[in-house]
Amino acid sequence: MHTKLKIIAVLLSVFFGLRLYAQPITVTDIVGREVTIPQPAKRVILGEGRQLITLALLVPDPVAITAGWTGDFSKSGGLLYEDYRKQFPMLDKIPLIGTSGKETVSTEQIISLKPDLAIFGAGSHGPDAKSADVIRQLEAAGIPIVFIDFRLHPFKNTLPSMQLLGKVLGREAQANAYVEFYNRRMNHIRGTLAKHPDIKRPKVYMEMIRGAVPPGSPGKGNLGEFIEFVGGNNIGTILPGEVGTLNMEYVISEQPDIYIATGIATLGEEGLVIGQNVFTYQTQESLAKLAGRAVVSPLNAIKENKVYAMWHLFYDSPLNIAAVEALAKWTHPDLFGKLRPHGVLKEINERFLAMPLKGVYFAELKP
């Protein structure tokens, strides 16, 4: 009898445990929509392929849970994309729901893939919060959608987006660990600057190159938020949106103190060569070419060799904490000279990322 009672107790605990696990998950996403899913999602649609990097912070095999995606990561990922292909061979078999751009996305294809969840950016190159037809059709087909944001207002939305993903993917412990890591580093910068309220704010001009002609610059959102946070003066705040193009006459009239370029690891193309599997000399050569252009040669930042570079995809990724430390170091070297952005990436590699980052992700132009 005693044995039977034990068996019954075990069965009841398993039963109630399963019921507890299977309880629906309700979240409020970044655009304020309340979304309920029956259980942690195992098959997700990525509205932007580069969101795979974010999944790689939370799950050991992000490809295994990706039911479909857009093709932008193959174009913007450079050599990092190739490393993902090598580490996760099934990546080449992920069905495309579109190429690059929200107008290319097929709702019929998404529905046919029978995903548990669609993950879209609040403002992105894929479907976003304004894509009313896509939202309506997917919801009518019973496919829940959550919106995250690392691009429009990353200063405000990075951590809530990570916590949201942790809940819907059943990876709350991993998400909370990343949030703690992120907050600890942000609080160090915040606390240091609070002790120097009257510090001079140098003007910063950022060119988001990545093959764009003319290049873009962050405005009141995007990386511009972080430039302001670290005690810089982003000259792009005059732009009407989060990212836009600055007139070079205006840039010259502002005479920025610091010049920063962004780029990706695509060898043999014009622009900044930086990122996965790139060597220091390759980044230095490409950065020197950018600084040597006639269009930027009148800038004080160029003349005084305050010329820096970072990987382009920090602008749309929770890895942006490393970019924040680099911006702090470059903007106020007297306060943050000991920060090591590559050290941040090393810790992220060791503690979180399923696909390690290797190469040059930050650079200072050598004389």
> Is 5 within a domain?
no
Judge if 203 and 349 occupy the same domain.
Answer: yes
- 169, 179, 235, 183: which is closest to 207 by C-alpha? 235
User: Domain residues for 54?
Assistant: 22-170
Please tell me whether residues 166 and 222 are part of one structural domain. Answer: no
- Whether 145 and 254 map to the same domain: the answer is no
pLDDT 10s digits, 138-169: 999 999 999 999 999 999 999 999 999 999 99
pLDDT of residue 124: 73
Residue 46 resides in a domain: yes
3 state DSSP class of 24: coil
Residues 161-220 pLDDT 10s = 999 999 999 999 999 999 999 999 999 999 999 999 999 999 999 999 765 557 899 999
Residue 123: pLDDT band (50, 70, 90) is confident
Cβ atoms within 10 Å, residue 342: 14
pLDDT at 268 exceeding the cut of 80: no
Q: What is the pLDDT of residue 18?
A: 47
> 310 and 208 share a domain?
yes
Residue 251 has phi, psi (to 5 degrees) of -60, -45
In a domain, 11, yes or no: no
Residue 13 is predicted with a pLDDT of 55
Tell me: pLDDT of 39 over 80. yes
pLDDT above 90 as % of the chain: 82
CA distance 176 to 163: 7
Under the banding of pLDDT at 50, 70 and 90, the label for residue 132 is confident
The 10s digit of each residue's pLDDT in 8-27 is 555 555 455 544 456 899 99
Both structure tokens of 309:
């570079």
Name the pLDDT band for 87 (thresholds 50, 70, 90). Answer: very high
165 and 34 together in one domain: yes
Residues 328 and 221 in one domain: yes
Q: Looking at residue 67, which CATH number applies to its domain?
A: 3.40.50.1980
User: At a CB cut-off of 8 Å and minimum separation 6, what does 11 contact?
Assistant: none
Residues 102 and 216 in one domain: no
Over residues 114-139, the mean pLDDT reads 89
With respect to residue 286, please indicate whether it lies within any of the assigned structural domains.
yes
Q: Are 148 and 214 members of one domain? A: no
**Domain termination site, one of 153, 170, 187:** 170
Measured CA to CA, the distance from residue 227 to residue 224 in angstroms comes to 5
Helices (H) and strands (E) counted in the chain, each on its own, are: 15, 16
- 133 and 267, same structural domain? no
Q: What is the pLDDT of residue 58?
A: 98
Residue 14 belongs to some domain of the structure: no
In a domain, 191, yes or no: no
Instruction: Determine contact, residues 84/353, Cβ cutoff 8 Å.
Output: no
Q: Across the chain, what does the average pLDDT equal? A: 92
Whether residue 253 has pLDDT greater than 90? yes
User: pLDDT tens, 94-117?
Assistant: 999 988 777 889 999 999 999 999
223 in a structural domain: yes
Shared-domain flag, residues 215 and 351: yes
- Lowest-confidence pick of 84-88, 143-147, 257-261, 262-266: 262-266
Instruction: Please report which confidence band the pLDDT of residue 1 belongs to, taking 50, 70 and 90 as the band edges.
Output: very low
Instruction: Say if residue 207 is in the same domain as residue 348.
Output: yes
SS3 track for 249-299: HHHHHHCCCEEEEEEECCCCCCCCECEECCCHHHHHHHHHHHHCCCCCCCC
Which of 13-17, 71-75, 120-124, 241-245 has the least mean pLDDT? 13-17
Q: With bands split at pLDDT 50, 70 and 90, how would you rate the model's confidence at 258?
A: very high
Structure tokens at 334: 């007297």
Single residue among 170, 188, 215 that ends a domain in this structure:
170
**Number of domains comprising the chain:** 2
Give the model's pLDDT for residue 19: 46
283 and 358 fall within a common domain: yes
Q: Over the stretch 334-357, which tens digit does the pLDDT of each residue have?
A: 999 999 999 999 999 999 999 999
Q: Is residue 16 part of a domain?
A: no
